[in-house]
Every structure is written in C-alpha cells, then in structure tokens.
Structure 1
Amino acid sequence: MAEAIDYKLQDIVEMKKPHACGTNAWRITRVGADIKLTCTNCGRGIMMSRFDFNKRLKKVLVSAETN
C-alpha cells in the first residue's frame, strides 16, 4: 500500500495533471468527505471525493503550518 500523504486546510498541493490555465498548484479550501481545491493561478474552484483526491495528489508544496 502507498504511503499516506498528510494534508490540511490551506495547504498548497501539487496534482498529477496541471489545470487548464497551466499551473499545477492548488490550495485546499475544504476538507471532509469531499475535498475542495482552488487554483492558485486563476482562482477556479473544484470539488472531488477524498478517494479521487488521494489518487491524483502528487505532493504537498507548502504546508499551512509553515505560513
């Protein structure tokens, strides 16, 4: 089984595929059964299930605790 990546509200994460605007960085704005992400470049918001998010997540770029 793959190692679980720890993420929290307001973390900036990198997904496996870039957004249509060209950036690959997203801010986590809601954590629950679903995860809500906001694009750091254009501000577009998306929601996906936690299962899909865990599959598509590459890494945490900036942790909210370091801000």
Structure 2
Amino acid sequence: MKEYGLGDIVEMKKGHPCGANSWKVIRLGADIKIKCTECNRIVMVPKVKFDKGVKKILLKAEE
C-alpha cells in the first residue's frame, strides 16, 4: 500500500477528462476526496478504488 497523506499531489492511472492526470488529496477516510489540479473539480472515490488507482505520489505535503 502506498503512503499518502492530506495535501499530497498524486498521479492516477486514469486521467481526468480535462486532460490533467494529477490530483490533490483534500480529505481522507473511508472515501477519499481528490481535487483536479488543473480545473479544480472535486471527486470522491472509495478508499479501495483510490488505492488501486494511484500510480505514484508526485509531491508530498509539508509536515
């Protein structure tokens, strides 16, 4: 399992229709809320689906 936290920028396997492929994690829990870094659209994804869809962590948030 990949280690990600609140405020991290992650790359997903499937991109957003706007063309961006990077997302900012804005909420953690049973569902994970992510925000597109290009068009600022917010999407809620179940944790299991999010874990399978994360390709890599692009930028870790400041502690």
Distance (whole Å) between structure 1 residues aligned to residue 62 and residue 13 of structure 2: 23
Q: TM-score, normalised by structure 1?
A: 0.90
Specify which of 6, 10, 14 is matched with residue 9 of structure 1.
6
Q: Which amino acid aligns with 1:48?
A: V
In the alignment, what sits opposite 2:43?
Answer: 46
Q: Which amino acid aligns with 1:22?
A: G
Segments of 4+ moved more than 3 angstroms? none
DSSP 3-state at the match of 1:65: coil
Larger radius of gyration: 1
Do structure 1's residue 59 and structure 2's residue 29 form an aligned pair? no
Please list every run of 5 or more consecutive structure 2 residues that lacks an aligned counterpart in the other structure.
none
Q: What is the identity percentage for the equivalent residue pairs of Structure 1 and Structure 2?
A: 51
Q: Which amino acid aligns with 2:19?
A: G
DSSP 3-state at the match of 1:26: strand
Distance (whole Å) between structure 2 residues aligned to residue 48 and residue 17 of structure 1: 13
Q: CA deviation at 1:65?
A: 2.6
Please list every run of 5 or more consecutive structure 1 residues that lacks an aligned counterpart in the other structure.
none
